[in-house]
Amino acid sequence: MRFSLISTLLAFGTLSQAAFNKGAINAFNRVHPRRYDERRAAAPAPEQPAFEKRSKSKFLNKHSEKFVVNGSAIPEVKFDVGESYAGLLPISQDPDEERKLYFWFFPSTNPKAKKEEVVIWLNGGPGCSSLSGLLTENGPFLWQEGTLAPVPNTYSWTNLTNVIWIEQPVGVGYSQGKPNITNEVELGKQFIGFWKNFIDTFELKGATTYITGESYAGYYVPYIADAFITANDDDYYKLGGVAINDPIIGDGTLQQQAVIFPYIEYWSNLFYLNQTYTNALRWTHQHCGYEKYLKKYGTFPPPEEKFPVLPDPYADTNPKSNYTCDIFDYAYAAALESNPCFNIYHITDTCPHVYSQLGIVNQGDYSPPGAKVYFNRTDVKKALNAPIDQTWYQCTPNKVFGFGDPNSNRSDTSLAPAQNDVLKRVIEHTNNTIIGVGRLDFLLPPNGTLFAIQNATWNGKKGFQKYPQDKEFYVPFHNDYNGGRLSEEGIVGQWGEERGLTWYEVQLAGHELPGYTAGAGYRVVEKLLGRIKNLGTIENFTTQKGNFQGNPHERDFSVVNPLGLPWGHGFTYA
């Protein structure tokens, strides 16, 4: 039976008053202890995890010693971040290779993290540095926007396993050499050349690798994973799984233009657009065929035929290239009028803009006059074994797919991984692929990503056969002793899983999901590594001591959403 998301939303939106009242009562009938419970708050604060010195390193050898970073001598960081290694490695085994990628590698102190296990993190762009992810999302220390100084990250992924942040492709961050790629296949070949050198340097042959990232890494991660699979060499390229959040994996028009009006409607109380403008957006949504498209193809299971590619509203060959159908930018302009500090990555932000130590990349980024970008400081470069004469950009102005020319109009020529068999091969090879989104992400609204998945085939069927939001995403209750890094807890969203692919949504996360919702991002990595069975399991973090979850059998599951609102917000990078 074909199941329409539109009817699902109507069903959610018509919960009875009795159900609402019951939900409202139960909302205050918590069986889980709150973090301010006096009995628990009085307990002594434990030491922050993952900042201990090793008596003997498993990774230090004659090849890796030149990459050692002094964890107690990183500028502005007033604590020891522990063992790490950073520097440049070439993208091939050619002794004259000039193209090199920069990395920062942190071994884990978790005894469950075997030496032969590594998680790769990649930011997107294309052309953005993965060090921004380390410093603001999931690294062992954080210096997030608007904060005074670096703080330890209780939810660092290094608490779970060994993690490496890599600046790629060539042309990004501290990486060296002139870009010479035009597509993702070439990018994958260069990456696995670098990875072979990394494995040899740190004596990691046979290690299981998990590849993660966000945004435009929706291209990077599947294509690099596919390069691992194609190499067919478990000594260097043993792939354990992949996880990407808020990714561009399909057609850009579908992922942005077609779904933006239902997204605006779902968050209408937040955008607060006047009725005239809202009606104009609705007319555009209908006139450009987006509404009919969503109704026809937004079903579970999806139609068997391939979804037709929507016209690009910016293309010169499109008869509607007067931008009539550029509803995304119309909505964005209106949002900026309503909220001049509107954040396309996290729509609840309001004025003022907060200072970022990583510099200005997008509208809304703020850097006061005379401020120095952190990774451009000479003392930072020296501490991190980075090239002193390199100007570091959070997102390079040079075109990484255009031979480094900032004026080039060339872009990535590859199809998105959900538009060909790349994502299919990765899912079928690993049966451990996780894709998730934050519902506060305007740049890539959640249902655009889900729509892209519905147009893909894997493990014998096309798309999800039922709406993958039937289970609750649970983040464990816990004590937070680190005021500089707090995590949400309890039910934070929904998830579903079919045929080796897990899909999840987090209600209060933005585009940079691990940065906005620390516990949810941490939980996803626990799932990726096989430490927990699914995202709904009601049990402690695997690195957590004590029992804070209460008795799960006492929980009332009868009302999923006491407000009677649709979680799916209409079926409606970066």
Could you list the active site residues? 215, 441, 511
d(CA 219, CA 359): 25
Closest CA to 118 of 9, 201, 177: 201
Grouping H, G, I as helix, E, B as strand and the rest as coil, residue 243 is strand
Residue 541, CA distances (Å) to 116, 259, 427, 481, 534 in order: 22, 35, 26, 15, 12
Instruction: List the structure tokens of 218.
Output: 């929706």
d(CA 443, CA 39): 43
Element (H, E) at 368: none
On whether the CB atoms of residues 503 and 551 are closer than 8 A, the answer is no
d(CA 492, CA 490): 6
Could you tell me the end-to-end alpha-carbon distance of the chain, in angstroms, rounded to an integer?
Answer: 37
Strands 3-4 and 433-438 turn out to be unpaired
d(CA 50, CA 154): 8
| Alpha-carbon torsion (380, 525, 513, 550), positive or negative | negative
d(CA 207, CA 281): 51
d(CA 215, CA 230): 24
> Which residues, listed in sequence order, are joined to residue 433 by a DSSP beta bridge?
242, 501
Determine the residue type at 40.
Answer: R
| Ramachandran area for residue 272 (φ above 0: left; ψ -120 to 50: alpha; else beta) | left
Closest CA to 414 of 187, 88, 110, 91: 187
Grouping H, G, I as helix, E, B as strand and the rest as coil, residue 241 is strand
Determine the residue type at 335.
Answer: A
Query: Long-range contacts of range 400-408, CB-CB < 8 Å, 24 or more positions apart?
Result: 400/125, 400/126, 400/127, 400/169, 400/170, 400/171, 400/172, 400/179, 400/181, 401/126, 401/179, 401/181, 401/182, 401/183, 402/179, 403/178, 403/179, 403/180, 404/171, 404/178, 404/179
Determine the residue type at 385.
Answer: N
d(CA 452, CA 419): 8
